[in-house]
């Protein structure tokens, strides 16, 4: 065990701060630069986030090697659930009642450890580099709907990133998959969309970052039903020279068409489309939904004219219709996934219109649930004359 991010140092363009000098990694040319160092303790909007120390990361990595529960597998490698109960003091975890609060004494506590095993097509070197890049980016972000990076550790041939262990991803949550132990109502689905809009707006508007991989599998759900954006391995600053991600036939219908047919580079418009795709998945109750298809040499939209065509797919919304709130989300979705870039809505609409949808939720007794203070600038997609029957 030779490298950790807690101290200062490290010169490589992709190395985190704090690499020990006696076992350096060969410096490489990369378009990704280290972010300014951040102290090991900083405040988030939900409370203080304490980073793991070097010794705690060593213990966590050893436990991961001895046995962890596989949570998933991505481009870098496996993500495992690892016991962090005796790490002192107790670490923040999203499985606690509050996303950033320590669990009570004696309660089992887990963290997710993402590793770069190098088995994937990315190769070991690129996987380690990109995981280090993800750590450097995340440690400088501060938003309740962005995943918190708790620590980074690197050996000669593998890197590890520690994060909170969330109870589910959004794809499982909206479909009621077996991995999901919670039950959700329509208000929860609308709240997820508002959380995603808030986190994504923070990225593109405040921090000038393109995520480039927004999907239901990369959005996580906390114990207290908050949505958190994760998996920043291919995120880049807006305006930074970037190469295409090599979208192939399997991407048809799921990403902005200009990325495939015009070889366009990722930008705010493509992020808008990705957000719209997530909205459609939430509304349909599916982890993936095609938005367009090619027929007769032309691109055709698969977005239905009315939500009533999607409603039978979503068991949650059928039980708790909430027509005004869902109409608001549905028409926001249609604006986001327009096939024409110029017709897509700007990022500020993401937040305003999802907040407006929250304000239109109605409790069981008929009382309006106003979840936001200012919805005056939102575009009202659901006047009384256009309410849908589901």
- pLDDT digits 0-9 by tens, 147-189: 999 999 998 888 999 999 998 899 988 886 656 667 899 999 9
Share of the chain above pLDDT 90, in %: 45
In contact, 219 and 168? CB cutoff 8 Å = no
Q: What is the pLDDT of residue 384?
A: 43
Residue 4 pLDDT greater than 50, yes or no: no
pLDDT tens for 198-212 read 999 999 999 999 999
Question: Is residue 120 pLDDT above 80, yes or no?
Answer: no
The reported pLDDT for the residue numbered 255 is 94
User: Which residues make up the CATH 3.30.200.20 domain(s) of the chain?
Assistant: 3-164
- Of the listed ranges 40-44, 285-289, 383-387, the one predicted with least confidence: 40-44
**pLDDT > 60? residue 55:** yes
What stretch(es) of the chain map to CATH 1.10.510.10? 168-386
**Is a pLDDT exceeding 80 seen at residue 59?**
yes
The 10s digit of each residue's pLDDT in 14-23 is 333 332 222 3
* CATH, range 3-164: 3.30.200.20
Instruction: Report the topology of domain 168-386.
Output: Transferase(Phosphotransferase); domain 1 (1.10.510)
Give residue 66's pLDDT band: very low, low, confident or very high (50, 70, 90): confident
């Amino acid at each position: 065990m030779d490298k950790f991010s807690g101290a200062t140092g490290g010169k490589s363009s992709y190395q985190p701060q704090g690499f020990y000098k006696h076992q350096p990694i060969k410096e490489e040319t990369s378009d990704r630069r280290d972010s300014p160092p951040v102290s090991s303790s900083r405040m988030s909007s939900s409370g203080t986030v304490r980073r793991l120390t070097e010794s705690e990361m060593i213990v966590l990595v050893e436990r991961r090697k001895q046995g962890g529960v596989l949570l998933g597998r991505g481009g870098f490698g496996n993500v495992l659930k690892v016991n962090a109960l005796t790490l002192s003091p107790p670490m923040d975890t999203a499985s606690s009642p509050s996303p950033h609060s320590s669990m009570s004494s004696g309660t089992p506590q887990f963290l997710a450890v993402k590793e770069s095993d190098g088995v994937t097509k990315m190769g070991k070197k690129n996987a380690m580099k990109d995981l280090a890049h993800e750590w450097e980016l995340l440690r400088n972000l501060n938003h309740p709907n962005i995943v918190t990076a708790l620590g980074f550790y690197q050996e000669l041939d593998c890197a590890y990133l520690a994060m909170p262990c969330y109870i589910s991803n959004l794809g499982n949550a909206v479909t009621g998959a077996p991995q999901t132990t919670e039950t959700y109502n329509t208000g929860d689905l609308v709240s997820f969309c508002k959380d995603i809009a808030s986190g994504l707006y923070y990225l593109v508007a405040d921090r000038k970052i393109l995520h480039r991989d927004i999907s239901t599998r990369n959005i996580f759900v906390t114990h207290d039903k908050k949505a958190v954006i994760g998996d920043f391995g291919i995120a880049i600053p807006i305006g930074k020279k970037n190469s295409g991600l090599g979208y192939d036939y399997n991407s048809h219908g799921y990403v902005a068409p200009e990325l495939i047919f015009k070889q366009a580079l990722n930008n705010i418009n493509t992020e808008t489309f990705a957000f719209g795709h997530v909205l459609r998945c939430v509304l349909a109750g599916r982890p993936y939904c095609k938005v367009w298809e090619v027929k007769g040499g032309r691109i055709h939209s698969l977005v239905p004219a009315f939500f009533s065509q999607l409603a039978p797919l979503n068991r949650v919304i059928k039980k708790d219709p909430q027509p005004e709130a869902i109409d608001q989300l549905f028409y926001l979705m249609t604006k986001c996934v327009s096939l024409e870039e110029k017709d897509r809505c700007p990022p500020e609409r993401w937040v305003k219109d999802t907040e407006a949808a929250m304000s239109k939720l109605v409790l069981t007794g008929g009382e309006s649930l106003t979840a936001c203070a200012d919805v005056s600038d939102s575009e009202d997609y659901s006047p009384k004359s256009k309410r849908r029957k589901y």
